[in-house]
Structures are given as structure tokens and as C-alpha cells.
Chains A and B, each alone.
Chain A
Amino acid sequence: MFSTLAEVLRHGLKNRSFVIGGTISLLFFLIAFLSYFWTPYPVEDINIAEKLLIPGAKYLLGTDHFGRDILSMLIQGARNSVIVAFVAIGIGIGCGVPLGLMAAAKKGWIDELIMRFNDLTFAFPALISAIMITAILGPGSVNSIIAIGIFNVPVFARVARGAALSIWKREFILAARSAGKGPFRISVEHILPNISSMLIVQATIQFALGILAEAGLSYLGLGTQPPMPSWGKMLNEAQTFMHFAPQLAIYPGLAIALTVMGLNLFGDGLRDVLDPKLRRGR
């Protein structure tokens, strides 16, 4: 199932959404990486004299209400979104996948317990659990990572469990069991590689949702804190200027939308490439 990277690319390049999504996502990661070395203007410095300038030669995309260059903030914001979404997925996979695998392997009351625990975490909509967490630990990008991460755990647990259950029914698993392997080793050696394509696809989609969640949290003032810029915060602060300086809201909104769309397209393309059943259909 999990073919080598070269083969994935070979098939991928024929798939439209894989290509478009891939380029946008790559661009997004490059920008985020770039922000470590260079941004057109330093992001921390506030210079009120040049506030709310419209896009021009000096500031390509204009300046915000504190006179900071919007382009630099977008580049810096990209880094923030990558980190928040990336680590949040790490938490989601790190805790969710083992839970899902265990639920599928053990069945019985452990499965029931994990699934009910899943329902419980789904019970608290992401935003509310985020608000609770930031109220306890205080706002900040670290805490929003934890909040989004926690929300990812049940998603990965559910996906991993669903995929693992269908693999457990397959003959080659019976063969492995008859060879005396315990459920733990089977889960790691046989089940995990077979559901990894599903997990990768889910990861890209959760990455996109992670960026949206971070934007939502920043909107409520709970996400990344100054002086570190974030797209969500830029959008939040731009609201009151909607009527006479709309560009403040358009650029971050576009950045979020484009990145999330790119990641989703890439996820779709990846699903088609990795899932043999669908590959034949294209």
C-alpha cells in the first residue's frame, strides 16, 4: 500500500489537485521558513506616523493601524501558523493514533471506553475547550497549540480506529495472528503501515483546520500574543477598519483561505494517489 516516495510523486504529478495543492502548500512552507531569515521590515517596530498607508512602493501591501508593514507580518504570520498547526497535529497523532489502534485491537470495554472518551472530547466544541485551557494557562500560542492539539486527538483516534478495524478483518492479519504475534506487534508492524496513507490524508486536512482554529482563537484574542503577528489576530484587529481600510482584512483573510485551500487540495490529491482503489478510477 505505502509505495515509495518516487512512485507517489510519479502518480501525483498526474493528479490535478495534488499538483495545485502541492505547490500552494510548498509555497506556504517556504514563506514560513523564509521568515526566520528575512522580512522586508522588522515586525516588532511600531511607527505610528506611517499608519494605514495604502499599498505603494515603500510598503508593497501597505501598513496596519500601528504602521507595521503588512507583507512582513504575513510572512511572519505564516511561520506562526505552521508551528501551531504542525505541533497540534503532532499531539493529535501522538495521542490519537495509539488510542485508535488500541481501541481497534483490544475491542470490548477498552474500545467502548476510548470511544466514549472520544465522544466526551467531541462534546466540548474546540473553541470552548480552547477558552477553558487559555483561561487556566493564560492565552498565548503555546496554549492555543495545546487546545487545538487536544481537539485533534479524537479525530485521529476515530480515523485510526475505523481504518484499523477494516484491516483487522483482512486475511493477512489472521495469518500474522496465527504466527503468534500479539495485538501490539501486529498493530505496529501490519496495521500502522496499511493505514498510514489514510492518516497522512487526515493530517493534511487537520493541518488546514488547525490554521483555521488558530485564526478563530486569535479572533477571540486567545491565540498568539503580540509582538508575534498571526493571521487570525491581523484579521481580528482589521475588523473595525472594514469600512474605510478594507485591505487590512482582505490580505490576512486571503492568506488563510489560500493556504487552507492549498492544503485541502493537496490532501485530496494525496488521498487519490495513495488509495489504490481510487487511483484506478481516475
Chain B
Amino acid sequence: MRIFLAKRVFTLLLTLLVATLVVFVVLEILPGDPAAVMLGINAETDTLNALREELGLNRPVWVRYASWVADLVTGNLGISYTYDVPVSELILSRIIVSFPLALLAMTLSTLIAIPLGVIAASNHNKPMDFLVMSFSQIGIAIPNFWFAMLLTLLFSVTLRLLPAGGFAGWDAGIVPVLKSFLLPTIALALPQAAILARVTRSALLEVLQEDFIRTARAKGITNQGALWKHALRNALIPVVTIMGLQFSFLLAGTIIIENVFYLPGIGRLIFQAISQRDLIVVKNLVILLSGAVIMINFMVDLLYAFIDPRLREGEDV
């Protein structure tokens, strides 16, 4: 098991390093000058140069790359061009919104999807199966920003039960925060639940055809018992894979939902930083994200080994 871990950690670091290179190169060829964005139309050329000097944009490429990677290792992520605030502080203020939201959406999606998948699998080809499948078809097919808009229209504008968006801030207490998270969580969770339910169902159907299920039933275990005690765990591998992908998507792929509910999350920070050419924020944020996603993939691999003993000797799935 230890070599399995060592090997994975090494490839982890290698991938991160490659990621820093890729991101740096991509941002180098990004047209547009941050100084110009900040100083606007009437700025004179000398003020632009003064600012560029201040931001250290005139140093040669390699120097900038090396100093960035050095900063990354020491954890000092530098100062944002636009917000003039340490990048780490800026990202932290956005993580406390995106991370809980991703966690909530993930839990809600799993709590809905796994039972639905099991129900669909256990009454295969019966009305219940068809019902669950059509829910999942609809869930996948609806564009999530359209669904978010409908939610706001119903709950915030007409019923006026929930705020139409915005983030009350953790210091305003749990209840207001949960209220502002409720609609975005539903808007994020349902499409993911739709996908997860389908995957759970097909994985379960696959496993239910295996011989050991028949052995279990031959031991006198009921259909449902065989499904929950034997089939589910074997079906977890594909399910966990999808959940891993979904969680990394939920971390920063929710730009659209953050837009509709005007939540100050990571997605919008990246979108804003790119359009304002706040390259320091973009660079560090994307690396953080890549690190997070690779970490999630690593944990999924560990989960594989935990779920399926055959994987513990280090063979890859």
C-alpha cells in the first residue's frame, strides 16, 4: 500500500508543476494589459508605465515565472492588481462561499440520487424505473441557468419566501446564510442528482446480473437485502468516480449559478479576474483549483482501494 501512495503523490506533484507551466504560458499569450484596464481611457502613457513598473510587469518572462513558482511554494500568493488585496485573502473570502455551497449541493445530490438509483434498479422496467429515468432525463436536459431563473421567479419574486440571491456573510449567523444558499444548492444539486441517479442505476443493474447476487438470494436474503448488502457496495466504484468529477465541477464550474444568484464565489472571481486581466489572481486561483481537483481525484483513488479490496495491491482501476 505504501508504494501505491508514494507513486501517486509523486505523480501528483509532477502534474501540479506541469499545470503551473501550462497556466503561465496561457496567461502570457493573453492579449490585454492589466495596467490599461485599471487606469482607463484618459490615462497617459507615463502613468501606465509607472503602474506597470509597480506591478513588476516589465521583468523578463523567466524571472516572473520563477518568482511566481517560488512564491507558490512559500505560500505568498502576492497582491491582486485590481483589488490591491493579498490574493490569498481574496481567494479565502470566496472559498468560504463556494466550498460550503459545493458541499451542500453534493450532499443533497447524493441523498436524492443514490436512493432513486436503487429504486430504479430494484424495479427494473416497471413504472417506477420509468419515472426515475424520465426525472433524470429532464434533470440533465434542462440548462441549469434556466432552471435557476425559474426557481428565483417562483420562490423569491412571487412567493417572496427566499432572497433572490446575494450572500449574507457568515457573521450574519447560520440561518440567513442557509436561506441564501437554499436556492443555489437546489439549482446545482438537481442536475447533478439526475446524472448520479442514472449512473447508480446502470451500475446496479450491471452488478445485479452477477452470480454472487444469486448466491446471496440462495442464502435466503430478500431481493432488497441482496441489493443493499451486496450489490450496492460493488456498484460504488463507478458512482464514486462520477461523484469525484461532480465535486470538482461544483468547486469552480458554477460560474453561471453564481451569476444568477449574484454569489461572490470562486467561479465569478475567475471570470472577473480574466476579464479584468488580474493575472495574479487568475494564475494562483487556477493552480489552487488544479491542486484541489487532483487532490479530489487522489481521494477517489483511495476510496477505490477502500471499497474494492482487489485494488489494494496497487493495480490501477
Contacts and interface: CB of A to CB of B under 8 A. Distances in A.
Interface of A: 111-112, 115-116, 119-120, 122-128, 131-132, 135-136, 208, 212, 215-216, 219-220, 232, 235, 239, 242-243, 249, 253, 256-258, 260-261, 264-265, 277-278, 281-282
A196 B124 CA distance: 27
Interface of B: 11, 14-15, 18-19, 22, 26, 29-32, 125, 137-138, 140-146, 149, 153, 157, 205, 209, 245, 248-249, 251-253, 255-256, 259, 267, 270-271, 274-275, 286, 289-290, 293-294, 297, 316
Given A135-B274, A265-B137, A256 B143 contact: yes
Given A125-B252, A208-B141, 9 more contacts: A112-B11, A116-B15, A123-B290, A123-B293, A124-B290, A219-B259, A220-B255, A235-B145, A261-B141
Contacts of B271: 131, 220
A253 B125 CA distance: 30
Given A122-B248, A235-B143, A253-B143, A281 B209 contact: yes
Contacts of A281: 205, 209
A250 B18 CA distance: 44
Contact of B143 (A116, A212, A220, A264): A212
B19 to A, nearest CB: 6
Nearest to B260: A239
A277 B18 CA distance: 41
A103 B275 CA distance: 37
A132 B14 CA distance: 23
Contact of B153 (A235, A242, A265): A242
A119 B12 CA distance: 10
Q: Which 9 A-B pairs have the closest CB atoms?
A: A125-B253, A123-B293, A260-B141, A123-B290, A261-B141, A257-B141, A253-B146, A116-B15, A215-B143
A242 B146 CA distance: 10
If over half of A's interface residues share one DSSP class (helix, strand or loop), that class is named, otherwise mixed; here it is helix
A265 to B, nearest CB: 7
15 contacts: A120-B18, A127-B255, A136-B30, A216-B256, A219-B145, A219-B259, A249-B149, A253-B146, A256-B142, A256-B143, A257-B146, A260-B140, A261-B140, A261-B141, A278-B205
A281 B202 CA distance: 12
Contacts of B142: 253, 256-257
Given A125-B249, A264-B141, A135 B290 contact: no
A219 B145 CA distance: 8
Nearest to A257: B141
A127 B153 contact: no
Contacts of A112: 11
B294 A239 contact: no
Given A119-B297, A123-B294, A219-B256, A128 B143 contact: no
Contact of A128 (B137, B252, B275, B294): B252
A220 B270 contact: no
Contacts of B248: 122-123, 125
Contacts of B251: 125
Contacts of B11: 112, 116
B138 A257 contact: yes
